[in-house]
């Protein structure tokens, strides 16, 4: 039986301390989420710097794990690290996370190798950087819940979650600015911020939560981590082409990996019901407000996790080139074009948090997801070559809706938890949220590729032949997996230049060559097939958002405050 060793949360809450905790906790979340997306926009510069072509089929491993490895680690480890925070101290684990994140950011920036060795180094160091981020994410909300009274937790979560949401999009702009100068800067920029956060955390943060002696549930930790890694690895590999198929969902190894992961997670559930001190407190699901909030969080992340990729590909592959932007410049300008979303997140996070403190989380969390569904519907009605102010307005309202859900929902989840389980509960919430993002990326890419596969091949063959490419070459290019074309656009490469290669382009008439690699050929070619895939992705997002709204509503009119 666990024995209470430290109980400090009964001390009077200091106004000065709670704001100090908010600044330090938010700094960690902002740094972690910025670094989660800064790599996405910087991948072309990174791969050029280490001498790897990420679009070659044999190099897809490096590309996918640089994109998703960070998310996989944070999804797998946050529950365990939140549980360790409950046992050994949330501030202790959080501060260690700052130090770990900073150390491995430095190691990422000083990579001295080249080629495949450098690719492996970056992936491994990135995974360890994700370990530091998981320590921050697992304990940030619990530290704020300990520091703030129940009547102000919505405000605290609003600021914290607003920073976390917006950090994802801020990273796109920061990466777009720093990567062209030197790719190492995207990792090095985190080092001074991390050093400041580490020093401030160790000097100013206080352990105000309850700690209980407990044995670490090693079997539960191992089965949970193994199950999650297997499922996410299967989803990641399912996006890759297999044999003559555009994706790997028919690959026996992918199906076997996912099935084994599901079986391992079932075994994990059995373990957690039998051990005396489980890491995953299944009993917490008996708390209606917690269970409803967790379900809503998972569904909300599932609806929006792949959205950033869809919008960025839309901007980089179609809209920006049609408006005269060179493909190499589209990553930066796509990040800038997404700024209205960040503004909406930053405004709505604190405001909805304050209002939820007064009226409860249900109306704002539920209303936020209904509004998000309406926004997704609005995007679906936009033409592919839209008018930017309409697109920007939709982005802004989407940001308002997402934060209107996120801040009150997080506060409602944390308020529902017993004090001694806040670290574990916060980690559980983050695990559901982060894992849903990985699932969402797999689902959105699958829907988009299915939409492209139907008509892109014939359109591409006809367009290439019309501009002087031989039918044999055009047929070969037209039947290459669409995922290669999507990743080319996403990474800021000219897709046609990448598909044809310098030899085929050199054999063409200069005027035809210029037309093929110009700003309008690829966007005009892909617009209609892309529309089909985009509509399917938004339909999925609308349905899941409405289910998330329903899940949020059943939490009850007010969340129990603890």
pLDDT tens-digit profile of 242-260?
776 777 788 888 889 999 9
CATH of the domain at 439: 1.20.1250.20
Q: How confident is the prediction for the chain on average, in pLDDT? A: 82
Compute the average pLDDT of residues 354-376.
87
Q: Let me know the angle formed at the C-alpha of 47 by 78 and 184, rounded to the nearest 5 degrees.
A: 70
pLDDT tens-digit profile of 424-447?
777 777 778 877 877 887 788 788
Q: Are residues 456 and 320 in the same domain?
A: no
Write phi, then psi, for 244 (nearest 5 degrees): -95, 10
Take residue 495 and report the two structure tokens written for it.
Answer: 């897709």
pLDDT tens-digit profile of 516-535?
888 788 888 777 778 888 88
- Mean pLDDT highest for which of 265-269, 302-306, 436-440? 265-269
CB 298 within 8 A of CB 430: no
Q: Are residues 52 and 132 in the same domain?
A: yes
pLDDT tens-digit profile of 24-74?
988 988 888 888 778 877 888 888 888 887 777 677 778 778 877 887 788
The whole-number pLDDT of residue 14 equals 55
Q: Which of 475, 441, 443, 440 is nearest to 460 (CA)?
A: 475
Burial of 181 (0-12, 13-18, 19+ CB in 10 A): exposed
The DSSP 8-state label assigned to residue 87 in this structure reads: H
Burial of 112 (0-12, 13-18, 19+ CB in 10 A): exposed
Q: Are residues 409 and 484 in the same domain?
A: no
Report the number of distinct structural domains present in the chain: 3
pLDDT at 513 over 70: yes
pLDDT at 113 over 50: yes
Q: Which one of 278, 299, 321 terminates a domain? A: 278
Write phi, then psi, for 248 (nearest 5 degrees): -100, 20
The DSSP 8-state label assigned to residue 496 in this structure reads: H
305 assigned to some structural domain: yes
Q: Are residues 223 and 301 in the same domain?
A: no
Q: Are residues 141 and 225 in the same domain?
A: no
Q: Are residues 265 and 381 in the same domain?
A: no
User: How far apart are the two ends of the chain, measured CA to CA in Å?
Assistant: 22
pLDDT at 293 over 60: yes
Q: CA 137 to CA 74: how far, in whole Å?
A: 8
560 assigned to some structural domain: no
3 assigned to some structural domain: no
The whole-number pLDDT of residue 561 equals 47
Query: Which residues lie below 8 Å from residue 452, measured CB to CB, with a gap of 6+?
Result: 482, 485, 486, 526, 529, 530, 532, 533
Q: Are residues 441 and 358 in the same domain?
A: yes
Q: Are residues 393 and 416 in the same domain?
A: yes
pLDDT at 8 over 60: no
Q: Which of 488, 562, 549, 491 is nearest to 522 (CA)?
A: 488
96 assigned to some structural domain: yes
pLDDT at 419 over 90: no
pLDDT at 11 over 60: no
Which range of residues forms the domain containing residue 272?
217-278
pLDDT at 515 over 80: yes
pLDDT at 5 over 50: no
Q: Which one of 229, 247, 278 terminates a domain? A: 278
4 assigned to some structural domain: no
Q: Are residues 528 and 544 in the same domain?
A: no
CB 547 within 8 A of CB 521: no
pLDDT at 278 over 80: no
pLDDT tens-digit profile of 141-152?
888 888 888 888
Three-state DSSP state, 469? coil
pTM above 0.75, yes or no: yes
Q: Are residues 353 and 478 in the same domain?
A: no
Q: Are residues 262 and 226 in the same domain?
A: yes
Task: Give the pLDDT band (50/70/90) at residue 210.
Answer: low
Q: Which one of 252, 278, 304 terminates a domain? A: 278
Q: CA 142 to CA 101: how far, in whole Å?
A: 19
Q: Which of 413, 398, 406, 430 is nearest to 541 (CA)?
A: 398
Q: Are residues 301 and 407 in the same domain?
A: yes
The whole-number pLDDT of residue 373 equals 94
Task: Give the pLDDT band (50/70/90) at residue 481.
Answer: confident
111 assigned to some structural domain: yes
Q: CA 224 to CA 271: how far, in whole Å?
A: 10
561 assigned to some structural domain: no
1 assigned to some structural domain: no
Compute the average pLDDT of residues 329-348.
85
Helix (H), strand (E), coil (C) string for 339-395: HHHHHHHHHHHHHHHHHHHHHCCHHHHHHHHHHHHHHHHHHHHCCCCCCHHHHHHHH
Answer left, alpha or beta for residue 558, where phi above 0 means left and psi between -120 and 50 means alpha: beta
């Amino acid at each position: 039986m666990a024995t209470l060793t430290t109980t400090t949360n009964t001390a009077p809450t200091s106004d000065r301390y709670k704001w100090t905790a908010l600044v330090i906790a938010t700094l960690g979340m902002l740094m972690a989420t910025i670094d989660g997306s800064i790599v996405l926009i910087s991948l072309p510069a990174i791969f050029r710097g280490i001498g790897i072509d990420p679009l070659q089929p044999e190099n897809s491993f490096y590309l996918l794990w640089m994109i998703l490895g960070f998310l996989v680690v944070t999804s797998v480890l946050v529950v365990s690290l939140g549980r360790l925070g409950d046992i050994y101290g949330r501030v202790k684990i959080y501060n260690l996370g700052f130090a770990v994140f900073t150390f491995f950011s430095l190691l990422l920036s000083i990579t001295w190798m080249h080629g495949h060795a450098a690719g492996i180094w970056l992936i491994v160091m990135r995974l360890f950087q994700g370990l530091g981020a998981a320590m921050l994410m697992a304990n940030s909300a619990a530290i704020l819940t300990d520091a703030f009274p129940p009547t102000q937790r919505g405000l605290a979560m609003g600021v914290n979650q607003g920073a976390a949401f917006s950090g994802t999009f801020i990273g796109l702009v920061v990466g777009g600015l720093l990567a062209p100068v030197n790719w190492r800067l995207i990792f090095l920029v985190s080092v001074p911020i991390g050093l400041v956060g580490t020093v401030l955390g160790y000097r100013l943060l206080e352990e105000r939560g309850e700690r209980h002696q407990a044995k670490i549930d090693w079997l539960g930790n191992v089965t949970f981590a193994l199950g999650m890694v297997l499922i996410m690895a299967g989803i990641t590999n399912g996006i890759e082409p297999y044999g003559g198929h555009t994706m790997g969902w028919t690959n026996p190894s992918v199906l076997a990996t996912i099935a084994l992961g599901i079986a391992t997670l079932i075994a994990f559930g059995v373990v957690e019901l039998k051990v005396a001190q489980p890491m995953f407190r299944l009993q917490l699901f008996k708390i209606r407000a917690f269970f409803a909030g967790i379900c809503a969080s998972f569904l909300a992340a599932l609806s929006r996790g792949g959205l950033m990729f869809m919008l960025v590909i839309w901007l980089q592959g179609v809209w920006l080139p049609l408006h005269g932007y060179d493909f190499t410049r589209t990553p930066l300008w796509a990040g800038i074009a997404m700024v209205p979303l960040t503004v909406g997140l930053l405004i709505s996070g604190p405001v909805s948090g304050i209002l939820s403190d007064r009226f409860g989380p249900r109306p704002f969390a539920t209303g936020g997801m209904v509004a998000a569904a309406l926004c997704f519907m609005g995007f679906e009605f936009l033409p592919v070559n839209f008018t930017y102010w309409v697109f920007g307005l939709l982005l802004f309202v989407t940001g308002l809706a997402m934060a209107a859900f996120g801040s009150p929902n997080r506060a409602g989840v944390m308020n529902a938890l017993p004090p001694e389980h806040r670290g574990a509960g916060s980690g559980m919430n983050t695990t559901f949220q982060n894992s849903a993002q990985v699932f969402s990326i797999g689902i959105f890419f699958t829907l988009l590729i299915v939409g492209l596969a139907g008509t892109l091949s014939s359109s591409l063959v006809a367009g290439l032949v019309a501009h002087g490419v031989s039918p044999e070459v055009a047929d070969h290019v037209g039947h290459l997996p669409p995922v290669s074309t999507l990743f080319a656009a996403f990474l800021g490469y000219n897709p046609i230049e990448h598909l044809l290669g310098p030899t085929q382009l050199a054999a063409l008439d200069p005027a035809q060559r210029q037309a093929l690699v110009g700003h309008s050929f690829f966007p005009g070619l892909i617009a209609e097939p892309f529309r089909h895939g985009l509509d399917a992705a938004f339909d999925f997002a609308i349905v899941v958002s409405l289910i998330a709204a329903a899940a949020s509503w059943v939490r009850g009119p007010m969340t129990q405050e603890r």
